[in-house]
Amino acid sequence: MRSFRFLPVAALLVVLTTCALVYSSCKNKCGSTTCQNGGTCDNNVCICPVGYSGNSCQTGWADASIGTYTCVRSACTPAVAGINSWQSSVTKDATNGGYTIDISNFNNSNTTVVATVDTAAANGSQAIRISGTGGTGTDASGSLTITNGVTTIALHFTTYTGGIAGSSCEMTMRKE
């Protein structure tokens, strides 16, 4: 007889637990999507962290830039001798996959540089920045644009050797 007294209490606990789970799963749902990459939901809209965009934060700002490029150095001051066309690969950098990329064979130098994609603009244009460290390496700024399905990275950069500025160059990279 005593074991039947706890049956209504147990049933009530099961019903309350089920209601709480259903309520919390509905409350955390962001419309019909689930926010990705650390996005949070506010009024059924995913609020994306820096580096991501899209209705469910599924797209990293750097995603459009990933691929193989044909590079052309259009002008350097002072002039730089050598090949004026080469290939580079752009991949996601492991440290900040949403907005950081690695550009291999930068400036036909067999060197990989890390670039930051600053923003995701609705018009398909994004700012790109490369910062050398301690006056060595490469400092660059420019843009990534997508026009008629063609992705282009245009950079203005200065090279440094031993802390001394070398050439000031313009470079255009077109995704194959």
- What is the reported pLDDT for 4? 54
**What's the whole-number mean pLDDT along residues 141-165?**
84
Is the pLDDT at 126 greater than 70, yes or no?
yes
| CA–CA dist 144, 116 (Å, integer) | 11
Beta pairing, strands 126-130 & 113-117: antiparallel
pLDDT in tens, 127-149: 788 876 444 567 788 888 888 88
**What's the whole-number mean pLDDT along residues 124-128?**
73
pLDDT in tens, 21-80: 334 344 446 888 899 999 999 989 999 888 888 889 988 888 888 999 999 877 788 776
Q: Which of the two residues, 82 and 43, has the higher pLDDT score?
A: 43
User: Residue 2, exposed/middle/buried by CB under 10 A (0-12, 13-18, 19+)?
Assistant: exposed
- Which has the closest alpha carbon to 100: 112, 117, 125, 88? 117
- What is the reported pLDDT for 69? 95
| CA–CA dist 60, 75 (Å, integer) | 31
Angle at 163 between CA 157 and CA 169, to 5 degrees: 15
Structural contact between residues 170 and 156, judged by C-beta atoms closer than 8 angstroms: yes
**What's the whole-number mean pLDDT along residues 86-101?**
84
Instruction: Please report the domains of the chain, with CATH numbers, ordered by start residue.
Output: 2-59 (no CATH), 61-175 (2.40.128)
Residue with tokens 């799963």: 25
- What is the reported pLDDT for 87? 92
Is the pLDDT at 13 greater than 60, yes or no?
no
Structural contact between residues 57 and 42, judged by C-beta atoms closer than 8 angstroms: no
- What is the reported pLDDT for 14? 52
| CA–CA dist 92, 98 (Å, integer) | 8
Q: How many CA atoms lie within 13 A of 18 on its CB side?
A: 6
Is the pLDDT at 84 greater than 80, yes or no?
no
Q: pLDDT grade, residue 124 (50/70/90)?
A: low
